[in-house]
Amino acid sequence: MGSIQDSELVPKHSTISPAIFYWGTPVVLITTENPDLSFNIAPMSSAWWLGNRCMLGLGAISQTTINLLRTKQCVLNLPSDSMTGAVNALARTTGSEEILTAKPDEGYKYFKRMNGYAYVHDKFGHAKLTPLKSDLVRPARIMECPAQMEAELVGVYEMMQDADTKGFIALEVKVLRTHVHEEIRMDGKENRVDPDKWRPMIMSFQELYGLKWRKIDDSVLARIGEEEYRGFSNAAEVEAVN
Ligand SMILES: Cc1cc2nc3c(=O)[nH]c(=O)nc-3n(C[C@H](O)[C@H](O)[C@H](O)COP(=O)(O)O)c2cc1C
């Protein structure tokens, strides 16, 4: 009997060496506070959630990272798939002035300078977005984003310690309070977002996508009630949603 490898049922494969591994994750607009007390916004998408924690993968030289490490506070604002105008306005901008004079030996900073990044101080004005005061942290929320999570930094991990190319950090933040637009809430449910109404923006290999306008199938995982997971979130989150 031939091995499975020989079967005609195996799809044709080949190996590739991708320069990026952005398989598709939601876009997050992170707001942080600058040293002059103004607010910075950065689009990013190396983000995932577990319990009430979010892991953020960020370049160490980003103004967002510098602000987050200093103040320990941010807001994770989730744009809907109709907000490409704002995300593209913020793309290839940085709140770090150092970009203007970056030298060839300055890694990601120089990469940004060479790849058309612009220094923008007033990101809210630049992207025509509206700041809203947060309840528990200093950085402003973004009014136009249907979901906004006030969060604080609880952990830092330097990525790629085994490699020559360093400069990327994984930051664990704890969600303290979640705000959502009425139109994405589930009817009759106090604490739930309706996935049939929520239209996240997805970044896949640098391109912007939305999700299909319908569930692709019933989900076996979704047979577990959402409240069963509440034990993995902390008291602050329970307080926030009531
Ligand atoms: C859709 C999108 C997704 C991005 N994802 C990330 C990311 O996950 N991590 C990251 O470090 N930069 C990401 N970037 C690039 C940052 O926006 C960029 O580094 C920016 O200069 C950061 O701004 P700041 O320096 O003002 O913080 C992304 C950009 C766009 C437009």
3-class SS of residue 45: coil
Nearest to 75 by CA among 137, 122, 19: 137
Judge contact between 7 and 19, C-beta under 8 A.
Answer: no
Helix (H) or strand (E) holding 169: strand 168-180
182, pLDDT greater than 50 = yes
Query: In the numeric block, which tokens belong to residue 90?
Result: 């913020």
**Predicted local confidence at residue 234, as pLDDT:** 65
Percent of the chain at pLDDT > 90 equals: 75
**Predicted local confidence at residue 233, as pLDDT:** 79
Domains and CATH numbers, the chain: 26-209 (2.30.110.10)
**Predicted local confidence at residue 241, as pLDDT:** 42
Give the residue carrying structure tokens 């449910």: 189
Judge contact between 177 and 118, C-beta under 8 A.
Answer: no
Ligand 1 lined by 67 (C-beta under 6 Å): no
Gap from CA of 43 to ligand 1 centroid (Å): 5
**Percent of the chain as helix, strand, coil, to the nearest 5:** 25, 30, 45
Arithmetic mean of pLDDT, 51-64:
97
- Report the alpha-carbon angle 185-91-42, nearest 5: 60
240, pLDDT greater than 50 = no
Cα 213 to Cα 194: distance, rounded to the nearest angstrom: 13
Q: Where is pLDDT greater, at 81 or 235?
A: 81
Cα 233 to Cα 52: distance, rounded to the nearest angstrom: 5
Residue nearest to atom 15 of ligand 1 (CA): 44
What are phi and psi for residue 187, nearest 5 degrees? -55, 130
Gap from CA of 106 to ligand 1 centroid (Å): 17
| Tens-place pLDDT, residues 123-174 | 999 999 999 999 999 999 999 999 999 999 999 999 999 988 889 999 999 9
Query: In the numeric block, which tokens belong to residue 227?
Result: 């409240």
Cα 43 to Cα 90: distance, rounded to the nearest angstrom: 7
Ligand 1 pocket: which of 39, 44, 46 to mutate (most atoms within 8 A of CB) = 44
**Predicted local confidence at residue 39, as pLDDT:** 98
**Predicted local confidence at residue 238, as pLDDT:** 46
Nearest to 195 by CA among 213, 209, 171: 213
Gap from CA of 215 to ligand 1 centroid (Å): 29
Q: pTM of the full predicted structure? A: 0.92
Cβ within 8 Å of residue 190, ≥6 positions away: 241, 242
235, pLDDT greater than 60 = no
Cα 42 to Cα 61: distance, rounded to the nearest angstrom: 12
Give the residue carrying structure tokens 């923008």: 120
Looking at the CA of residue 90, tell me the nearest atom of ligand 1: 31
Cα 141 to Cα 131: distance, rounded to the nearest angstrom: 6
Cα 140 to Cα 135: distance, rounded to the nearest angstrom: 9
| Tens-place pLDDT, residues 8-56 | 888 888 999 889 999 999 999 999 999 999 999 999 999 999 999 999 9
